[in-house]
Amino acid sequence: MLALDKNPANIREFREKNKDEFLRSLARDNTQLLINEIWKLPTERVDEVIVAKLPETTTRLPREKPPPKPRPPTKWEEFAKLKGIQNKKKTNLVWDDVHKEWKRRWGYKRAKDDTKEWLLEVPETADPNEDQFAKRSKAKKERVAKNELNRLRNIARAQKIKVPGIGLAPTGQQSKSDLEKAVHVAKMSTASVGKFQDRLPKEKAPRNTGKKRKFQPLIGDFSTEKQKQLDILKIMDSKKPRLDINKAVNKQMREEDMESRSKKKGGPGKKGRKGNFSGKKGKGAGSAKGGKNHKPRMKQGKR
């Protein structure tokens, strides 16, 4: 919708008066004229609101960007269109019998808000020691997470993006161990945790599925627990330290090995013994070449 003011502006008033006030008054008068022309058009009531019917467009104005594309329908909208289900518009306010006032149907401070109850009834089939408040908050978190997952799936389907399934995501080439793990997870997903699931004729027992921790029973025979406590007290009361023979023997063997290695490192090397000998030899050295009682060595050749 476009409104044009064909009357020329008074330049003398624009220069003499304050420019901001002059422009503000001019814009206010033009806006008032535009609203008066709108209410001269035929009107109708839509959802308890009176609206005016605008005339057909006469001049198409160019857009800077292309018009937005329509939002793709969600999975529920497609199902409702297929089955012919029509959404019935509900009012946002409902009567709350507890507080005797009108409140919102959804959201914050809504009517019949079960999260504000300070007392909850325990069902007959539930565990009497179970925390019903924690159970209710956990169920709400699960619902919120499920709605968020569905929202992201709708976005991915609209953008034609493949979304992996819940659980073990399939890959391009699955190995034998991956298939065995998938079969094991599918069997353990039953209510009986795979207790009554039949095996295939040549199916082997799963490997590397993890070890379960075993705890002592809380009720029943306490003789083993009593014996363990007595053994601990016996060790604590004994003045002599408890000797572990295997540990002591291994420690002794390690010490002997370390002593033998240190001796080998400190012994004579290939170049000779270490001592306070000078590099030069005297005239009376018996090992000097050309001295008395010196026999030349014969070179050993190949036979």
Identity of the amino acid at 104: R
Predicted confidence at residue 293, as pLDDT, reads 52
Q: Are 96 and 111 in contact (CB under 8 A)?
A: yes
Average of per-residue pLDDT across 237-247: 75
- pLDDT class for 142, splitting at 50, 70, 90? very high
Q: What is the dihedral of CA 214, 219, 221, 224, to 10 degrees?
A: 40
Tell me the three state secondary structure of residue 173. Answer: coil
Predicted confidence at residue 170, as pLDDT, reads 61
Spatial distance between the Cα atoms of 56 and 257, rounded to a whole number of angstroms: 104
Query: Which letter does DSSP use for residue 65 in this model?
Result: S
Identity of the amino acid at 93: L
User: In this predicted model, which residue has the larger pLDDT, 135 or 276?
Assistant: 135
Does the pLDDT of residue 30 top 50, yes or no? yes
Predicted confidence at residue 284, as pLDDT, reads 45
| Burial class of residue 153 in the structure, from the number of CB atoms within 10 Å of its CB (0-12 exposed, 13-18 middle, 19+ buried) | middle
- pLDDT class for 120, splitting at 50, 70, 90? confident
Spatial distance between the Cα atoms of 243 and 251, rounded to a whole number of angstroms: 13
- pLDDT class for 255, splitting at 50, 70, 90? very high
Spatial distance between the Cα atoms of 251 and 257, rounded to a whole number of angstroms: 10
Average of per-residue pLDDT across 132-161: 89
Query: Which letter does DSSP use for residue 201 in this model?
Result: T
Query: Which letter does DSSP use for residue 269 in this model?
Result: B
Spatial distance between the Cα atoms of 289 and 291, rounded to a whole number of angstroms: 6
C-alpha dist (Å) from residue 25 to 12, 18, 38, 275, 279: 15, 11, 20, 113, 114
